[in-house]
Structure formats: structure tokens, C-alpha cells
Structure 1
Amino acid sequence: MNAPLNHPLMMLDPDVLRSFVAIAETGSFTAAAARIYRTPSAVSMQIKRLEEQLGVSVFLRDARNVSLTHDGEVLLGYARRLIALNREAISRFVTSDVSGVVRIGSPSDYGEAVLPSVLKLFAKSHPSVVVDVVIDQSTSLLKRFASGHIDIALISCMRDQTPDPGEVLMTDDIVWAGAKGGQAYLMDPLPVSMWDEGCVWRDSALAALEKVGRSYRVAFMTSHSAGQRSAILADLAIAPMGRSFLGSDIQVLDEDCGLPAPGKYHLLLKVAADPSPQVMALSDHFRARFQHFSETGVFEAP
């Protein structure tokens, strides 16, 4: 029976939602407890109360793994938005005078697709914060992050090679991309456009070609996504790309074209330990943007 219209709706506790998100991202009650500075038993009690409050199970548990149920997957999207909205409200009224510097590292593809909209919104909410951006390969960004030279890093990694800790912002297919109507994929050896060494798209794609014995030659080298697209559109070569970056002028070349699937990759958000208010705020902007992408399929701000 539905509650009366004037019946007060229950409120979800932000602390409980933070615990829920931490478990979903780490896959472990113990790791989540360490991330949010609580004991595993306290986190377990929070989730028990959350499931009782909602009347559904949000996690599947076995001796080794914790995974989301279907209801848990649905709740995860709401939880991330509610947490981000809470921090946005706090920053609007309490930390609007926050100043300082935030240092970001990103691969060039996400630098072009995501950073403009994120930084535009962040500049409105934190006009006194200076943002320093480094565009580089994920392997180099990991070194910069580990040495403390950047506060926030967007890192690409293969799905089965996720560094810890790292918050998964999105998972995408690596696909072979070619010009629509192009003929490059028919050539032998296969002309391939490559990123610099250390790119997970490159490493996975070449491993896939070598596994099936497909001969190839590196026909184009670039460190930036704009150069990669130029080589594809000119039909000089094909290239491994994230499916989300193809666009209307590029097609997927699959096994019907004699090309093996390179696999899937994660995009991770890595945030410095004990982050400053401005680092936390900008991290939440990234989370909100990728949540928007998961719901709409576009990176641009609404």
C-alpha cells in the first residue's frame, strides 16, 4: 500500500551513501572502511540499515568478492549525484572563497572531450582557484601522481589491471577505428596509427594483432588525439580508440573486417591523499560529468 501523500519521505544519510559508494568502488568492505576511516563492522552496519531502509539488497557477497545487485547499480548513480550535489551546495555557501591551486593530469583524449566543460563549471563555483593542467600518457601521469606533482589524475588502464586505489569513472571498449568507406584495413601489412609507448590502447591492440598473427606496420605516430583522428580520416591508417570517442565520421572495424577485439579499459580518477577543499570540489565535478555521460552518452555539460 502506498504511503499517504502527506507522509514524510525518509532521507538517505550522506555518510551511509559515502560508505556504499566506497564499497562499490573498492569491491571490499575492508578497503572501503580504510578509505573512509571507519571500521569494517561500522560500515557493515551502515549497509545493513541502508538495505532495511530501502527494502532491497544492494550487494551480493561471497567469501572473496562483493558486487552490486541490479538495485545496487541503480542506487550507485543516485548516490554519486547526491554526494556531489551535497558538496556543491556546501561549496556554494561555505567555501565559495576557497583559493589555491589544483594540479590535474589527463590523457589528451579526455583533455579534449571532458576538461573544457568541467573546468568551465568549476571556474564558476571556485573563481579564486588556479587550475594547472598537464596532458600526458597514463603511465607518465601515474609517476607524476605518485611523486605528488599532480593532485588529480585521469588514468586509463586495462580492465584487469586496475591500480589500487583508483575510482572507476567509466569502462569502455577499445575498438579499431577507420575512416568511413576507407580501405586502409584491407592493406597488408596493416597500416596502424599509434600513440606513444605506454598507452593502454596501443599495448592491447598490438597484443591482439600479434595473437592472431596479423602482420602490421606503424604508419603514423602521434601523442595527441587530434593527430590520431587526422591519420584515420585521411585513410592513412587505422587505430585503436575508445568507442566513446569515435564520432560520426569514423567507423568501427570489427572481426568481420579481420580485426581482433582489443578488449576493454577503465578510466580511473585518482585523488591525492588528504585532499584540499578545492581538490575535493574539482574531483566531484569530474564525478558529476562522468555520471552525466553514463546517463546521456555525451560528455558536454547539460
Structure 2
Amino acid sequence: MNASFRPALPLLDNDVLKTFVAIADTGNFSTAAEAVLRTPSAVSMQIKKLEEQLRVTLFLRDARSVSLTPHGEMLLSYARRMIALSNEAVSRFIMPELSGVVRLGAADDIAERLLPGILKNFGSKFPGIMVDVTVDMSLKLRRRMEEQRLDLALVNFSNHSTTLPGEIVYQDRLVWAGARCGTAHLRDPLPISIWEEGCIWRQAAVNALERMKRPYRISYLSANTMAQRAAVLSDLAIAPFPRSYITEDMAVLGVKEGLPDLMTFDVRLLCAPSLSVPAKAVADSIRDAYAEREKAAA
């Protein structure tokens, strides 16, 4: 009896499945692209290839978001299980003995935008390591490092700081952010939303406005980046934000709008003098994440 001929089934790529899961979780191609450290066009190509491979449509797309089709919902369950099984298998061979607690500090904006993706990727590789995260202002995190209360810290430094400890993992520019099509920047005095005393972004923004002799008032004060963002999106104020933090619902404001240029700054990784092996693994994961981010932006 002859066996019927069946062509070999295609193998699913775990990297593509990770992108698929990220889109399903965020409901947005651009947000997912940031989470997996790829460009939006690369993410679109990955999903197109996956849909061609499976011969089904996985997402329903509209102008603002995407949602799963019934085929997409079916694949999502398989994708999560396949990724988890792959991570479990690899972790059995790559540094399986790593365990312990790593104390990591991060500035608020970094903790909101980048840390979730970094920790998620790290946790899947090293499930035995617990990362204890402290979110605070860069100045206070530096003090915690000096007091040996943290193993690692991701902090913001102005490029012209006189003392520059740590390793540069990313460089960015501070810009004025307003609501897209907003009018807050036209008001007099200018309403600004800034952080507490000690923040380098606050000092840079205030100094630049005072040099220009532009009247301003502090209309919102918070140490939380999400609160700053809410004030901007509500068109109640403008705020100094990293260029990389600007999203489609914001506008970058500058000289044309009568506002001064702001500074460039470094994101630096501070490490304790003697790092444990788990802490070194976390540090390497942070470096890799920022390297991938630079590559995706190039």
C-alpha cells in the first residue's frame, strides 16, 4: 500500500511568533514594533510572511488599531505555548543555575517606556532571577548607588555634566512636546508641565525659557511621566520630553513656535563595583536591548 504524498509542513519562526504575540497584546503595529525592537515596516513584513505561510488572515486592521481574526485567536494560543516551551528548553542549557535577586533602579521615563520589554525578555531567559526595581529621579538613584543600595541603575545625564560615571547605552535629545494640533504653546504666559526639583530636564527647560525671556508658568508639577503626558495630551501645557518619547498624538515644538532649543542627554548604565553573576546577566540584557533599539532606529 502506497502512502499518500504530503508536502512537508512549514516551520514557524519563534521570532515571528513573538512579534505576532506583541501585536495581539498591544493592538497596534507601531507599539509592538517598539516592544520587539524592530521597525514598523519590518513587523508588517513579518506578519505578511506569516499570513502567507498559514494561508489565513490573522488581523483585522483599521486606521487606529488591529484586532485578531478567529484564525488569529487560534494561533495566539499556540504561539504563547511554543514560545514558553522554547524558552524553557533553552534555559535548561544556558546558565540554568542562575538565580537570586538583582536590585535595579530606573528613571521614571525609562521605567515606563523601555523597562517592561527589557524585563519581559530577560524573565523568559532567566526565570530564576528576580529583579527588584526601584523607580525614582536620576539624582536619587545615583545616591542609592553610592550608598550601595542598588546593583544597577539606568539614569539620565546631561551631556555637559562635569562628572560622568557609568556607561552610555543610549543618547537622545530633549524637545518641547505639545498635543498634536494643540494651542497650549500659544498662551502667554506659557503653561509648562515639569518634574520636581533636581530633575535635569526641568532645569534645562526653565533655564532655556529664562535665557529667551519667554514668560512661563508651571501649571503642572509631577514626578510621574504618565501625569506629564496626560497634561500634554489634554493640551493644558507643554513639556520637555525625550525625542524618542514623542508619539503620533504629540507634536514637536521648536524655534518656529517661539520656543528655545533644548539639550541632548545620555542614558547611562551605572554598575556596582562588584557585580554578581545574575546582575551581570541583567546588565548584558540591558545593553543588548539598547543595541537592538539603535539598530532598529538606523
TM-score norm. by structure 1 comes to: 0.67
CA distance in 2 between partners of 1:163 and 1:225 (Å):
26
Superposed displacement of residue 92, structure 1: 7.0
Query: In the aligned structure 2, how far is the partner of 1:122 from the partner of 1:136?
Result: 21
Aligned partner letter, 2:266: H
| Paired residue secondary structure (1:182) | coil
User: Counterpart in 2 of 1:113?
Assistant: 113
What is the match of residue 206 of structure 1?
Answer: 206
Unaligned runs of 5+ in 2: 1-89
State the partner residue of 1:196. 196
In structure 2, C-alpha distance between the alignment counterparts of 1:171 and 1:164, rounded to whole Å: 14
Identity of aligned residues (%): 39
Give 1:161 deviation, angstroms. Answer: 0.8
Report the counterpart of residue 98 of structure 2 in structure 1. 98
* Code of the aligned partner of 2:284: D
- The C-alpha deviation readout for 1:164-214, integer Å capped at 9, x for no partner, is 431011111100000011111011111000111111111111111111111
Structure 1 residue 239 displacement after superposition: 0.3
Q: Give the direction of change, closer, same or farther, for the CA distance of 1:254–1:164 in structure 2 (3 Å limit).
A: closer
- Partner SS state of residue 176, structure 1: strand
SS at 1:142 equivalent: helix
What aligned pairs does 1:130-169 form with structure 2 within 5 A after superposition?
Answer: 130-161=130-161, 163-169=163-169
> 1:221: which partner in 2?
221
1:95 to partner: Cα distance = 2.6
Structure 1 window deviating more from structure 2 (231-240 vs 163-172): it is 163-172
Counterpart residue number, 1:248: 248
Largest Rg, 1 or 2: 2
Amino acid at match of 1:97: E
Moved beyond 6 Å, runs of 4+: none
User: Aligned partners of 1:258 and 1:130: how far apart in 2?
Assistant: 48
Change in 2 beyond 3 A, CA 1:128/1:295: same
Q: How far apart, in 2, do the equivalents of 1:175 and 1:94 lie?
A: 42
Q: Which runs of 5+ in 1 are unaligned?
A: 1-89
Corresponding residue for residue 277 of structure 1: 277
Q: Which residue of 1 aligns with 2:20?
A: none
CA contact (8 A) 1:97 1:126 kept: no
Q: Shift in Å at residue 295 of structure 1?
A: 1.2
Aligned residue in 1 for 2:68: none
Tell me how far 1:94 sits from its aligned partner: 5.5
| TM-aligned CA deviation for residue 279 of structure 1 | 0.5
Q: Which amino acid aligns with 1:127?
A: P
- Residue identity in the other structure for 1:221: L
CA contact (8 A) 1:91 1:281 kept: no
CA RMSD, Structure 1 to Structure 2 (Å):
1.7
Instruction: Give 1:30-69 correspondences, 5 Å limit.
Output: none
1:92 and 1:125 in contact (8 A); partners too: no
Which residue of structure 2 lines up, in the alignment, with residue 258 of structure 1?
258
Q: CA deviation at 1:221?
A: 1.0
Superposition deviation, residue 297 in structure 1: 2.9
Distance 2:107 2:188 in 1: 31
* C-alpha deviation, 1:122, in angstroms: 1.4
Q: 1:125 to 1:273 in 2, by over 3 A?
A: same
Deviations 1:82-121 (A, max 9, x none): xxxxxxxx98746321111101111111101111111112
